[in-house]
Structure 1
Amino acid sequence: MKTGSLGFQSFPVGVVKPKYNLKIIHQNAQYLSNKIEIFTEFLQSTTPDILAISEHGLKEDEIHQCILGGYTLVSYFCRNEYKGGGIAIYSTSNMVQCKHLNWVTGKSIEKTLEVTGMEIMCDKIKLIILALYRSPSGVMNEFFNLLIDILQQLAQKDRYIILVGDLNINTMENGCGHKQLLDIINAYNMIMTINIPTRVTESTATIIDQIITNIPVNCYYTNVINSLLSDHYAQCITINITPPVLKRCYKVGRDLSDDNITCFCSYIQTETWMEVFNDNDIEIKWNSFYGIFNYYFNIACPKVRRNFASVNKATWINKDVVIARTKLRNLYDLYIQCKSQEYKNVYKAYKKVYNTIIKTAKANHIQNIINRSINIPKALWKFVNRERDSLNNKLTGNINLFDGKQKVSCPNRTCNIFNKTFVETVNNLILDKNLIHPQTINNIDSLKDSFVLLEITEADLIKIIHSMANKKSAGLDDISPYLLKSCIPYIAKPLLELVNASIRDGIFPSILKKSVVSPIYKGGTKEDASNYRPITLVPTFSKVLEKVIVNQLIAFLDKHNILNKFQFGFRKKHSTNDAIATVIENIIDNLNDKINCNCVSLDLSKAFDCIQHNILMDKLYKYGVRGIPHMLIKSYLTNRTQQVKVLHRETNEIKEYLSSSLPVKFGVPQGSVLGPLLFILYINDFPHLTQGRSIMYADDTSILNMGQNINELQYITSTNIGVVEKYFEMNDLFINPTKTHCIFFQTKQCRQDYKYKILVKNMEIENVNSINFLGVEIDSTLSWDVYIDRTCSRISRNLFLLNRLAKLLDLKGRRMLYYGLIFPFLSYGIVVWGNSAKALTKRIFILQKRAVRYTAGLKPLESCRDSFVQLKILTLYSMYIFQTILYATNKCNCTVNKQVHTHNTRNKNDYHKWVHNLELYNSKPSVAGCIFYNKLPNSIKQLDNKNQFIRELKNLLINRCYYSIDDYMNDKFCNAG
């Protein structure tokens, strides 16, 4: 282990330390969650580069919700078995060249030794920083054995080490624990640096927190700080070495301030655009338009260097907070000096006042920002996201890739490796097959009518542009929807001419066929380019022209009923909820009819990227897309290119690097408007081919197979899979057998362990007890326990954040927070799982009530029934009733009584209740919705206006505030006329 002072500079005696040194602070928090604002204020006044916190008391899903302004969570350990404890290390958000030591954290044993570590590079010297916590009830000998094990491994790595933490070993006394600790650290050439008390009470003073290091003694100094954060003082070590911190970091980007956009608009409104109107060549017209547009764009909105990595300071800390903290420290010092109960009481009383002052300061600051904002929801979520996950505050590290021979760090090379990987992965999948395609369109009936793409008006164009999401993301041309909306009044006429010219001539301009791809890490080895997901951005003007095509094409497809009714992706009035409900409806029907049923969940590899253009164009022709529209779409697909963009940090500047362009021969761009529609048309004929029922959301495909007995079911499943394999092979789409699964459905009463041997590409696919379909775990008996377990976990995680942030917001903000953090998990798929076992739904309902208490500002055990009504929030059960009624009335062709018989009864307009074999049948979304509808008051059922019906139904459910399904079914009001 190193003991010399190579790379360090000595602190001369009596000389003030230099401006930039590495400062590390350790603080025992005694629960961090309720001290975020106090910690933030402390950090702003002490400005450490690294902060270690012991006894943070947070769980795994809570620690990422606790943000310390300007700091990033680097490594941590959280307890699972016991409460409290835990250890964490934070670094400043602009620190670079640091990494988490996973193997160190893996050594942790709750109470005995809770440890985590990080490694940083300072002035070409590697420093290891370990943060430790030992509970007073931890076994001492086991603690020492674990510590020796860790130090031994670090000693072999030849590093400088700094240990900080709460060891609960009083080094002021010459006890056995102190002696053993000394023997261990002496063996590794380390010393204890803290020699003044770190925990002081009325009657005791102990040193139970320590900083231990092997750095030469003349290269650092230590001190103790009365932080007022707990009954432990903070310990600080300042090392005379430059920390790897970017004090300022710049990024070049467009200056799209409101003034600049206004200036840009003033320039282009004087332009005549004669080149656009006078030329007849589409390519020249579009290039002229871009030339003029970019000329003024570059003048009015130039690219500038912006400060990118500045530390997020707590601007809410005002003069009142500083004065209150000074007063609190003076009261504490007075209490310690006098050791008087009276001073102790005064100190404790003012500490509560200080906590109130600091929380009020932050709450007022946040509320002022939100109230001044033009877009209040956006301002609120900007605040929430800052507080949500500390990992998001960290600047992204540079990407290093392995090119097959060596690791590549040069950004010019990495972006080209990415581009080559993304393009060649698809090319190899298709070209390696070397297939001669048979006719793939014989099963498609040719439509007699042809699609006619009409020119649009200026009003149509403006409506299309204003319907686009107000995003600031842009393609290679830096033109975002946000910018386009700002300037559309001044470019509407030339842009209309360009769009209509493309429609007339059937040519999609080349300048709009250039895409930029950002690689997003998805898991696995970071050096492998295939472990990144390509996210494509197309030019905004391309989206405008695509939207013109899509709007008219969808109207044509709907008119002729071309799109398969079991395709739910990228279609209006179709959603993931509808797809999930359809799957469950079919499964329950089969179980009720005592028909054996399974589901094969298919996984397609790079489905959007593998589309064969010639096959697609043949299918479009069959569907009526012919002539000029056919030419335009073919032009859209051919001669496309893409470049990959990566960000790379160089010293104090973050630069964008672009790869060279590569041709894209297959597929449709996923970030486009037209691409998804073309994809679902490409596979539109698939659901007709199997004996089972194919339910699809874009490329997410599930095939339900039915058979009168197990043997028949196995045969039908194998036959269907054979048909599926053949279809996808003919269409150059590829099933991934390792991610394709089969699940057999059965009732709880008749459970048997059936295993099918089903082959895909000569590989046996896995039989599973649950599958994930569009984010919902469907288990073999439709019990929903797996999904509800996961949902409860997600809600609990967000409850922690809701509880913390609700104290900083007014009622309106808290209600918005509820709908953003909790409501989506309650509502998603509720039509299928909302009628599961009472014990399961009760778990979620308890969490919902806790969320409503946080939102309403109630105490933990206070009744929240009135708050549901006052906040106009549906209970879980009311939400289920509401959604199933809407599903039954809007999505299903349910039979009414008068269709079954001719008797003039008072219930003739109610939905008919069919005889069934299983109680499970009543949980079908359509059946449950009909049952709930029939219980409604006639005054609501007789409403013909759909919007009025929904409004009155929701008001009823809010005001009645049902705490169970039985409450609703037994409500006499529901039977009133």
Structure 2
Amino acid sequence: MSTESDTVRKSSRVVQALPTTVAGIHPATRENPVHHQADQYTQGQLPTTNLTDLQQLHQRYRVVVPSNLRGGDQTSSQLPTGCPKPNSSDAVPMASNGIFVANDSRRFRRSIKQNILFFPGEDRSDVSNYRPVTLLPVISKVLERLVANKLTKHLEGNNILSIAQHGFRKSHSCLSNLLLTLDDWTLAIDNGNPIHACYLDMSKAFDRVNHSILLQKLKQHGVTGKLLAWLENYLMDRVIQVRVDGALSKPVAVTSGVPQGSVLGPTLFLIYANDIPNLVRCKIILFADDIKLWASIHTSEDCVLLQEDLNALYDWSLRNKLPFNFQKCKMLNIGKCVEFTYTLGPHRLAWTTDEKDLGVWISSSLKTSLQCTAVYKRTSKILALLKRIFGRFTRQTLPSILNTYIRPTMEYAVQVWSPWLQKDIVLLQRIYHRATKLVTGLQSKPYEERIESLKLFDFCYRRIRGDLILTYNILHTPNHPLQKLFVRREPRISRTHDYLLAVPHSRGNSRRYFFAVRVCFAWNSLPQDVAHSPNLNIFKTNLDSFLSTQPNIEPPHSA
């Protein structure tokens, strides 16, 4: 029998405190408050469930779910009784009526939230410093995957999702978001045009999604019939319990939001926020609920236009019941420009000289030194901790240590912030110098000998290699969102490859050392057999073989 501790009750009240629905009115029956725009998403109705889906369900479930496995919620992971096998006599009528009737089971709409400390170093007794991880039944996630695949195929196949959205989409990521942003900013600064950029963040956006508005937007996006009914059933009557130290709270009704930790939740949120880019005239880019809005400032009229877009976004947040987190909304002044007083509703936006953007520090000068310093400090702490724990490493263990603990930090989105000042390059190289000295028997050896003995690529080599691998992916992936970074040019001699890039003109260092400019020199230097590799793995092999013979194929660094 579950018991409730004081911490559990407090955590449960945090869930209950989230804005939900109008009291006493079921979300499915309330009048839709969404702001109606031109319905441009009615083409391409989603197909209904068929027998193949039922076969996919059993195949996927048999592969990924052992019969004795229990989910994080500790419920059985076995298929429900009402779901027949694909070769049974009940399969065809079951498929024709929609196999997802299994979702009617209440246990599929029950979830448990395990709290984790979201702000390290903060008061552990304050429940507001925690963020929940939702534990859902395994069978629910398998069913969701089939629905999510259909929904994603419909959205991407009909080009319904905005090109400004980079969250939870194939070939889109934090990296693509940041590269497209900085491509525009570095080009503007190089042309002498300062930028006013707004960083906007919604408050607990996934937990506040209004169900009735979401269902209306699903209809506008071409989701109708049995699938819409299934999604409505999926959202309604959900309950949640909070677990702390093994103690469970009483079940609490969840009347808003999409389940975090679910397969469908991110896709449903993308649909909910898909109309945001249509509201503004300035440039905008999103990663889920994180919004960047900016404009090149020539006159005060440009500032007024940016303010009007902020007003439109604030009005959208009121209509769609997703308030902004004013404390996280900032203004960044890039280049030399007089600051303007911008407001977001009743809140005056504060100016900042640097901002952490999807894990990368962006400064108003667009130099990468701040990010390089942050990466060095973090990896230094990790390396010091590993040294205290292990003392020394063997030649076999250090590569695994680097791959697991060091490189994820040093190489996260490194194409965005690749250092070009010599002092920053030297700073980050120290991590490899210190790490390789921890190997038994190599302490007194020169750095180059240590690297060769361990068969490691040093940081500078990996930066060039990472740039070229990303470029290969961009040029060889149809409709890649980053293809707009490059302009192809015709080869002048037969010995060069067919993927040559035009090197953009640049005046300042921020543009000269930006990914889309700096990589052209190295990419155009590749021989034909490397650039024309049939797949990524072969490209990596050919690239490593070629780079081992080249002392330096990147442009010189700034002092």
Q: TM-score range, shorter-chain basis?
A: 0.7 to 0.9
Residue identity in the other structure for 2:428? I
Which of 282, 285, 288 lines up with 1:698 in the alignment? 288
Name the CA shift for 1:543/1:436 in 2 (closer, same or farther; >3 Å).
Answer: closer
Q: Distance in 1 between matches of 2:68 and 2:291?
A: 31
Note the residue ranges of structure 2 that are not aligned, 5 or more in a row. Answer: 25-29, 475-481
Q: How far is 1:756 from its partner? A: 2.6
Which of 777, 780, 795 lines up with 2:379 in the alignment? 795
Name the CA shift for 1:714/1:943 in 2 (closer, same or farther; >3 Å).
Answer: same
User: Which has the larger Rg?
Assistant: 1
Given that 2:311 and 2:345 are in contact with CA atoms closer than 8 Å, whether structure 1 keeps it comes out as no
Note the residue ranges of structure 1 that are not aligned, 5 or more in a row. Answer: 1-251, 254-409, 648-655, 972-977
Identify the residue that residue 130 of structure 2 maps to in structure 1.
532
Residue identity in the other structure for 1:448? Q
Q: Distance in 1 between matches of 2:23 and 2:473?
A: 42
Please state if 1:513 is matched with 2:103: no
Q: How far is 1:946 from its partner? A: 3.9
Given that 2:208 and 2:256 are in contact with CA atoms closer than 8 Å, whether structure 1 keeps it comes out as yes
Which of 299, 310, 315 lines up with 1:721 in the alignment? 310
Identify the residue that residue 776 of structure 1 maps to in structure 2.
360
Identify the residue that residue 37 of structure 2 maps to in structure 1.
442
Given that 1:441 and 1:619 are in contact with CA atoms closer than 8 Å, whether structure 2 keeps it comes out as no
Q: How far is 1:692 from its partner? A: 2.3
Q: Distance in 2 between matches of 1:517 and 1:937?
A: 53
Residue identity in the other structure for 2:505? V
Q: How far is 1:727 from its partner? A: 1.4
Structural mapping, 1:645-684, within 5 Å: 645-647=243-245, 656-684=246-274
Q: Distance in 2 between matches of 1:706 and 1:956?
A: 42
Q: How far is 1:669 from its partner? A: 0.7
Residue identity in the other structure for 1:782? L
Secondary structure at the aligned position of 2:182 is classed as: helix
Q: Distance in 2 between matches of 1:873 and 1:677?
A: 39
Residue identity in the other structure for 2:553? Y
Name the CA shift for 1:743/1:682 in 2 (closer, same or farther; >3 Å).
Answer: same
Please state if 1:968 is matched with 2:553: yes
Q: How far is 1:665 from its partner? A: 0.8
Given that 2:112 and 2:136 are in contact with CA atoms closer than 8 Å, whether structure 1 keeps it comes out as yes
Name the CA shift for 1:637/1:437 in 2 (closer, same or farther; >3 Å).
Answer: closer
TM-score (norm 1): 0.50
Secondary structure at the aligned position of 1:703 is classed as: strand
Give the fraction of aligned pairs with identical amino acids, expressed as a percent: 22
Given that 1:453 and 1:549 are in contact with CA atoms closer than 8 Å, whether structure 2 keeps it comes out as no
Q: Distance in 2 between matches of 1:577 and 1:591?
A: 21
Identify the residue that residue 546 of structure 1 maps to in structure 2.
144
Residues 367-419 of structure 1, C-alpha deviation per residue, up to 9 Å, x if partnerless?
xxxxxxxxxxxxxxxxxxxxxxxxxxxxxxxxxxxxxxxxxxx9345433422
Name the CA shift for 1:572/1:970 in 2 (closer, same or farther; >3 Å).
Answer: closer
Given that 1:522 and 1:531 are in contact with CA atoms closer than 8 Å, whether structure 2 keeps it comes out as yes
Which of 887, 891, 895 lines up with 2:487 in the alignment? 895
Given that 2:4 and 2:250 are in contact with CA atoms closer than 8 Å, whether structure 1 keeps it comes out as no
Q: Distance in 1 between matches of 2:442 and 2:129?
A: 47
Q: Distance in 2 between matches of 1:471 and 1:723?
A: 52
Given that 1:896 and 1:908 are in contact with CA atoms closer than 8 Å, whether structure 2 keeps it comes out as no
Q: How far is 1:695 from its partner? A: 1.9
Given that 1:592 and 1:921 are in contact with CA atoms closer than 8 Å, whether structure 2 keeps it comes out as yes
Identify the residue that residue 921 of structure 1 maps to in structure 2.
511
Name the CA shift for 1:430/1:679 in 2 (closer, same or farther; >3 Å).
Answer: farther
Please state if 1:411 is matched with 2:9: no
Q: Distance in 1 between matches of 2:48 and 2:199?
A: 37
Q: How far is 1:460 from its partner? A: 5.2
Q: How far is 1:796 from its partner? A: 0.9
Residues 682-726 of structure 1, C-alpha deviation per residue, up to 9 Å, x if partnerless?
1112123212222222212222222334x2342222112111111
Q: Distance in 2 between matches of 1:667 and 1:779?
A: 34
Q: How far is 1:465 from its partner? A: 6.1
Which of 619, 629, 653 lines up with 2:227 in the alignment? 629
Q: How far is 1:557 from its partner? A: 1.9
Residue identity in the other structure for 2:296? M
Given that 1:507 and 1:631 are in contact with CA atoms closer than 8 Å, whether structure 2 keeps it comes out as no
Q: How far is 1:863 from its partner? A: 1.9
Secondary structure at the aligned position of 1:427 is classed as: coil
Q: How far is 1:801 from its partner? A: 3.3
Q: Distance in 2 between matches of 1:837 and 1:464?
A: 52
Identify the residue that residue 324 of structure 2 maps to in structure 1.
735
Q: Distance in 1 between matches of 2:365 and 2:8?
A: 48
Structural mapping, 1:316-465, within 5 Å: 411-412=4-5, 414-427=7-20, 438-455=33-50, 456-458=53-55, 461-463=58-60
Aligned length: 531
Q: How far is 1:810 from its partner? A: 4.0
Please state if 1:832 is matched with 2:416: yes
Q: Distance in 2 between matches of 1:927 and 1:852?
A: 32
Given that 2:355 and 2:363 are in contact with CA atoms closer than 8 Å, whether structure 1 keeps it comes out as yes
Q: Distance in 1 between matches of 2:229 and 2:381?
A: 52
Residues 56-88 of structure 1, C-alpha deviation per residue, up to 9 Å, x if partnerless?
xxxxxxxxxxxxxxxxxxxxxxxxxxxxxxxxx
Structural mapping, 1:225-244, within 5 Å: none
Given that 1:806 and 1:814 are in contact with CA atoms closer than 8 Å, whether structure 2 keeps it comes out as no
Q: Which has the higher contact order (CA 8 A, sep 6+)?
A: 2
Given that 1:419 and 1:644 are in contact with CA atoms closer than 8 Å, whether structure 2 keeps it comes out as yes
Q: How far is 1:672 from its partner? A: 0.9
Q: How far is 1:735 from its partner? A: 0.6
Quote the RMSD (CA, aligned, Å).
Answer: 3.5
Identify the residue that residue 222 of structure 1 maps to in structure 2.
none
Name the CA shift for 1:537/1:857 in 2 (closer, same or farther; >3 Å).
Answer: farther
Q: Distance in 2 between matches of 1:734 and 1:468?
A: 39
Q: How far is 1:830 from its partner? A: 0.9
Identify the residue that residue 397 of structure 2 maps to in structure 1.
813
Identify the residue that residue 35 of structure 1 maps to in structure 2.
none
Q: Distance in 2 between matches of 1:608 and 1:536?
A: 12
Name the CA shift for 1:835/1:645 in 2 (closer, same or farther; >3 Å).
Answer: closer
TM-score (norm 2): 0.85
Identify the residue that residue 299 of structure 1 maps to in structure 2.
none
Given that 1:868 and 1:961 are in contact with CA atoms closer than 8 Å, whether structure 2 keeps it comes out as no
Residue identity in the other structure for 1:462? Q
Higher-strand-fraction structure: 1
Q: How far is 1:947 from its partner? A: 3.2
Please state if 1:881 is matched with 2:479: no
Q: How far is 1:511 from its partner? A: 2.1
Name the CA shift for 1:474/1:504 in 2 (closer, same or farther; >3 Å).
Answer: closer
Structural mapping, 1:94-133, within 5 Å: none
Q: How far is 1:451 from its partner? A: 0.7
Q: How far is 1:494 from its partner? A: 5.2
Q: How far is 1:534 from its partner? A: 2.5
Secondary structure at the aligned position of 1:644 is classed as: strand
Q: How far is 1:581 from its partner? A: 1.7
Q: Distance in 1 between matches of 2:35 and 2:155?
A: 20
Name the CA shift for 1:425/1:622 in 2 (closer, same or farther; >3 Å).
Answer: closer
Secondary structure at the aligned position of 1:562 is classed as: coil
Residues 90-114 of structure 1, C-alpha deviation per residue, up to 9 Å, x if partnerless?
xxxxxxxxxxxxxxxxxxxxxxxxx
Given that 2:369 and 2:419 are in contact with CA atoms closer than 8 Å, whether structure 1 keeps it comes out as no
Name the CA shift for 1:692/1:970 in 2 (closer, same or farther; >3 Å).
Answer: closer
Q: How far is 1:561 from its partner? A: 1.8
Given that 1:757 and 1:764 are in contact with CA atoms closer than 8 Å, whether structure 2 keeps it comes out as yes
Identify the residue that residue 204 of structure 1 maps to in structure 2.
none
Identify the residue that residue 848 of structure 1 maps to in structure 2.
432
Q: Distance in 2 between matches of 1:628 and 1:491?
A: 18
Structural mapping, 1:632-643, within 5 Å: 632-643=230-241
Q: Distance in 2 between matches of 1:783 and 1:473?
A: 49
Identify the residue that residue 865 of structure 1 maps to in structure 2.
448
